[in-house]
């Protein structure tokens, strides 16, 4: 009978590997079944073939470890939920504020989109390339860099002067040296826009700037 109990317990333990919090009830049921089998065997074990104490202890420890891991995962899930609620509350308070975010997209809102460009260094100008969802270049121009970081605004017009619809656009920035050639390291830049909303999903909290939605963790500053 000891071999039967060992096989049953081992099968249940293997089935619980990688268990999620949703399986905690099933694990508890398996553990109770194991204890029932164990006590039944102890009552009916043969004096000449007693239960292996080391094996029994190992199985008890294994079940206890799985239950402890489930409890830990549940606590971590609760902490994550509380953290996301806190982030959502903070993000909601930004609605209507001008914010600065790290992104390779900018949001055209009311015909205006903004970038914060770095101070001049090895690059004296920044070549800003704005593209649509298909990758087609909408606007490209060289913007002189100043001695300090500065905000630059796109008026929403294409290279042909046609006003574009509000939405999210790809943006890339390359450094231009005094010789008019591109430099090796692209200038660091951030996107500036008005926060219009905040949402929470299974992946976390997202901040919306018009049509642009990005993780809350990409927020870099809030304007007064």
How far is it, in rounded angstroms, from Cα 101 to Cα 193?
8
DSSP code, position 174: E
Which comes out higher in pLDDT, residue 124 or 15? 124
Q: Give the number of other CB atoms < 10 A from CB of residue 164.
A: 18
Of the candidates 187, 190, 197, the one whose C-alpha atom is nearest the C-alpha of residue 219 is 190
The mean pLDDT of 43-52, rounded to a whole number, is 70
* Structure confidence by residue, pLDDT tens digits, 14-36: 444 444 445 555 655 666 776 77
CATH 2.60.40.4070 fits 103-191, yes or no: yes
pTM of the model: 0.63
Range with the largest mean pLDDT of 26-35, 89-98, 189-198, 214-223: 189-198
**pLDDT interval class at 142 (50, 70, 90):** very high
Q: For the segment 6-15, what is each residue's pLDDT rounded down to a tens digit? A: 444 333 334 4
At 69 the pLDDT is 79
**Average pLDDT over the chain, rounded to an integer:** 81
Task: Let me know the angle formed at the C-alpha of 131 by 127 and 137, rounded to the nearest 5 degrees.
Answer: 75
User: pLDDT tens for residues 159-188?
Assistant: 999 999 999 999 999 999 988 888 877 889
The reported pLDDT for the residue numbered 186 is 84
Helix, strand, coil percentages in the chain from 3-state DSSP, rounded to 5: 35, 35, 30
> Can you list the pairs that 22-27 forms with residues at least 24 positions away whose Cβ atoms lie under 8 Å?
23/70, 24/67, 24/70, 24/71, 24/74, 27/63, 27/66, 27/67, 27/70
199 vs 39, more confident:
199
Residue 51 — pLDDT band, cuts 50, 70, 90? low
Residues pairing with 46 in the sheet = 49
Question: In which band, very low, low, confident or very high, does the pLDDT at 81 lie, cut at 50, 70 and 90?
Answer: low
What residue segments make up the domains of the chain, in order of their start? 2-92, 103-191
Tell which residue, 205, 223, 224, has the closest CA to residue 215. Answer: 205
């Amino acid at each position: 009978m000891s071999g039967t109990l060992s096989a049953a317990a081992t099968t249940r333990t293997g089935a619980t590997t990688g268990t999620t919090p949703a399986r905690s009830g099933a694990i508890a049921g398996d553990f109770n079944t194991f204890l029932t089998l164990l006590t039944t065997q102890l009552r009916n074990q043969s004096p000449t073939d007693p239960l292996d104490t080391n094996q029994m202890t190992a199985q008890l420890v294994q079940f206890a470890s799985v239950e402890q891991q489930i409890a830990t995962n549940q606590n971590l899930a609760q902490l994550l939920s509380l953290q996301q609620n806190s982030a959502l509350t903070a993000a909601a308070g930004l609605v209507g504020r001008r914010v600065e975010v790290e992104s390779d997209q900018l949001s055209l809102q009311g015909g205006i989109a903004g970038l914060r460009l770095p101070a001049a260094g090895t690059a004296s100008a920044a070549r800003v390339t704005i593209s649509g969802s298909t990758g087609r270049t909408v606007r490209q121009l060289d913007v002189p860099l100043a001695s300090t970081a500065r905000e630059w605004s796109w008026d929403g017009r294409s290279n042909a002067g046609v006003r574009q619809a509000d939405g999210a656009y790809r943006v890339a920035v390359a450094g231009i040296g005094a010789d008019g050639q591109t430099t090796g390291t692209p200038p660091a830049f951030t996107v500036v826009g008005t926060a219009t909303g905040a949402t929470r999903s299974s992946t976390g909290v997202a901040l919306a700037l018009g049509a642009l939605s990005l993780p809350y963790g990409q927020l870099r500053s809030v304007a007064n």
